[in-house]
């Protein structure tokens, strides 16, 4: 294992176990990343079948969550890790909860897509939804990249992006409300869009959480609930 | 420590540490329970000051989350717990994430309350919102009670309640959409109510998650993502 920040263990079996867990987290991350992309495409194209596929993928994501939690619990019991190994296991335990919830949020978008596919297609504002979705899936990709390389700088950039996501989300929400007020017949359909946009915003929050666990692993500091400037200081200070 | 299911340790210091963590989780739980009640009252009464108080309480909830995570990490490193001790620590690590997010959701409701307080008061449908809020805070209370006594039966009842919450939520949502369609001038205000109702539904999900960790601790089985009937079987089977 050449990832910087990892110790090499006398027990190569222990090394292999940690590496296996790490790889499974990345596999789980790859699945949820694809879920976001597919769910948004299903929403854009009112593609019922693709929406259904996203929902099926969620079962795999859930299985991985349960499997990785079991593995972490087994490693804690048998290997009794300390220092950076313990921080890695801790970061994994927290990260997979967020990955699973990203899967849940994508699932919600997929359900909206299946609903909308029975209705008239809706194109107003959809370009902006797609834009937000691309932005959010890039953020998840970067958070996973930060996790893969245990890179605090990339993680910090993800935490920064979340502020931009929140601004895009607010703007889209205002636009949706204006649509509804101008043409109340669209209310039901626009509500489905609003739930999807909200789900994307939540995914951004989860990506940010993952980024914070990476910073915790690398710097040994819990930066949750700190203002962004303080997180920036923590990342720069001890490097 | 007389709670059933706990081992007594040779090290009374270790006992004290586990008991301290358990008490802090319950304290954190008490805070978020109060947050839900206060946030809903602030929403009902359009009480700006109470809304602000909920937001201040959130800082304490966040501090407790960080503190308990540190403690758990320290216990894992120094005490290297196994079997039911390890399951307790694991359940705590997962539970506090959900408690913190219940705090976040209450915070959102409090923010809506502060927004609404600048506007005309809105009474339609508010009785139902209050009813949902009572139901949800009772569910959180029961989940914490299940945690305090490590009681799988109470936890199972909480998991069952979540289905009822989801039905109440869906009904309230339909009602809100009807309001908006009948009188589009209410759209902005009703959207604030919708976000609050959604937050309450999410709190129900988090309470259910906590219940599942209790079942995991007591039965040693991970029941997440299982259909309710399977959870019921797991709880009854091994008791």
The answer, yes or no, to whether residue A29 has pLDDT greater than 60, is: yes
Cβ–Cβ contact A41 with B under 8 A:
no
Question: Tokens 């222990």 belong to which residue?
Answer: A14
CA-CA distances (angstroms) from residue A122 to A44, A183, B174, B228?
A: 8, 13, 21, 36
Q: Span B154-163, mean pLDDT?
A: 97
Nearest one of B107, B2, B118, B125 to B51, comparing CA atoms: B107
What is d(CA B158, CA A171) in angstroms, rounded to the nearest whole number?
A: 38
Q: Span A181-201, mean pLDDT?
A: 94
**Chain B residues within an 8 Å CB radius of A188:** 177
Cβ–Cβ contact A178 with B under 8 A:
no
The answer, yes or no, to whether residue A7 has pLDDT greater than 80, is: no
pLDDT in tens, A85-113: 999 999 999 999 999 999 999 999 999 88
Contact A10, A1 (CB under 8 A): no
Judged by CB atoms closer than 8 Å, whether chains meet at A184 and B184 is answered as: yes
Q: Which two tokens stand for residue B199?
A: 């937050």
Question: Tokens 């976001």 belong to which residue?
Answer: A36
Q: Which two tokens stand for residue B191?
A: 């959207």
pLDDT in tens, A195-227: 999 999 999 999 999 999 999 999 999 999 999
Share of chain A above pLDDT 70, in %: 91
Q: Mutation test of the interface with chain B: which of A92, A173, A176, A181, choosing the one with the most B Cβ atoms within 10 A?
A: A181
- For residue A112, the distance in angstroms to the closest alpha carbon of chain B comes to 14
Contact B115, B47 (CB under 8 A): no
Q: Which two tokens stand for residue B143?
A: 């989940």
In this structure, the number of other CB atoms found within 10 A of the CB of residue B66 comes to 16
Structural domains of chain A, with CATH: 12-237 (1.20.58.220)
Cβ–Cβ contact A94 with B under 8 A:
yes
Judged by CB atoms closer than 8 Å, whether chains meet at B86 and A93 is answered as: no
A19 torsion bin: left (phi>0), alpha (psi -120 to 50), beta (else): alpha
The answer, yes or no, to whether residue A1 has pLDDT greater than 60, is: no
Q: Across all residues in chain A, what is the average pLDDT?
A: 92
pLDDT in tens, B72-102: 999 999 999 999 999 999 999 999 999 999 9
Question: Which is more confidently placed, A126 or B129?
Answer: B129
What is d(CA B79, CA B86) in angstroms, rounded to the nearest whole number?
A: 10
Q: In the prediction, which pLDDT does B141 show?
A: 98
Cβ–Cβ contact A62 with B under 8 A:
yes
Q: In the prediction, which pLDDT does A8 show?
A: 60
- For residue B228, the distance in angstroms to the closest alpha carbon of chain A comes to 16
Q: Span B171-180, mean pLDDT?
A: 95
Compare CB distances from A82 to B77, B87, B191 and report the shortest one's residue.
B77
pLDDT band at B39 (very low <50, low <70, confident <90, very high): very high
CA-CA distances (angstroms) from residue A205 to A142, A180, A201, B94?
A: 13, 27, 7, 18
Chain B residue with the nearest C-alpha to that of A72: B90
Q: In the prediction, which pLDDT does A114 show?
A: 84
Chain B residue with the nearest C-alpha to that of A194: B191
């Amino acid at each position: 294992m050449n990832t910087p920040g990892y110790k090499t263990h006398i027990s190569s079996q222990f090394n292999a176990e940690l590496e296996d867990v790490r790889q499974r987290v990345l596999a789980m991350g790859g699945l949820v990343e694809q879920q976001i992309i597919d769910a948004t495409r299903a929403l854009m194209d009112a593609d019922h079948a693709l929406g259904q596929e996203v929902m099926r993928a969620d079962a795999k994501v859930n299985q991985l969550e349960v499997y990785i939690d079991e593995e972490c619990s087994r490693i804690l019991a048998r290997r009794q890790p300390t220092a950076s190994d313990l921080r890695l296991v801790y970061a994994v335990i927290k990260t997979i909860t967020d990955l699973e919830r990203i899967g849940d949020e994508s699932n919600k978008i997929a359900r909206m897509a299946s609903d909308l596919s029975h209705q008239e297609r809706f194109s107003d504002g959809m370009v902006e939804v797609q834009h937000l979705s691309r932005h959010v899936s890039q953020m998840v990709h970067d958070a996973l990249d930060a996790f893969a390389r245990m890179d605090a700088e990339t993680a910090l950039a993800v935490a920064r992006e979340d502020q931009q996501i929140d601004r895009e989300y607010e703007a889209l929400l205002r636009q949706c409300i204006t649509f509804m007020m101008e043409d109340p017949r669209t209310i039901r359909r626009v509500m489905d869009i609003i739930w999807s946009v909200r789900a994307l915003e939540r995914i951004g929050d989860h990506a940010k959480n993952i980024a914070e666990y990476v910073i915790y692993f690398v710097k040994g500091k819990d930066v949750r609930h700190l203002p962004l400037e303080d997180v920036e200081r923590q990342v720069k200070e001890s490097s």
